[in-house]
Copies of this chain bind each other. A is one copy, B any other.
Amino acid sequence: MDDIKEKLDIFHNHCKAKGLKVTPQRTEIYKTLIASKEHPSAEMVYEKIRQTLPNVSFDTVNRTLNTLNDMGAAFIVEGCGDVRRFDGNMENHQHFKCINCKKIFDFSHKTFDNISVPENLLGDFKVLRAVVYIEGLCKSCQEKK
């Protein structure tokens, strides 16, 4: 998997370009995030990262995740209330969230991948992000009821 190595290289250059230092913690947090498919919360990343860096503080994890979001290396998944969930996959994709088990599922849909923002909005607003958000019940949660 040189894919990860490549992503880390890009990430390191990205950091330098933004004047951010490349620290082991930052690298490890980023690596954990892109390796995860579950759109983890800060708490979930913290638990995982302690296996490799036992002395890292929760604050560092949370702050770093926000930094990744600010620099555009990751983003906060849109949702309704609940804990912040992060996503390191910057490729165009959509999310379905189960309101019962809170799992987030990725999916891709051509027409959603490039949403054309209404022109009357473009005049007044600077659009930074446009996504389709779908929520409901996943298969196993439907069966439970």
Residues of chain A having any CB pair with chain B under 8 Å? 75-81, 84, 96, 98-99, 105, 107, 109, 115, 117-118, 120-121, 124-139, 142
Please, which residues of chain B bring their CB within 8 A of the CB of A107? 118, 120-121
A-B contact pairs, 9 of them (CB 8 A): A81-B84, A105-B125, A125-B137, A128-B137, A129-B135, A129-B136, A130-B133, A131-B134, A132-B133
Number of copies of this chain that the complex holds: 2
Residue from A81, A109, A117, A131 with most neighbouring chain B CB atoms (10 Å): A81
A80 nearest in chain B by CB position:
B76
Q: State A120–B107 Cα separation when bound (angstroms).
A: 10
Given A80-B78, A132-B132, check contact A142 B121 (CB 8 Å).
Answer: no
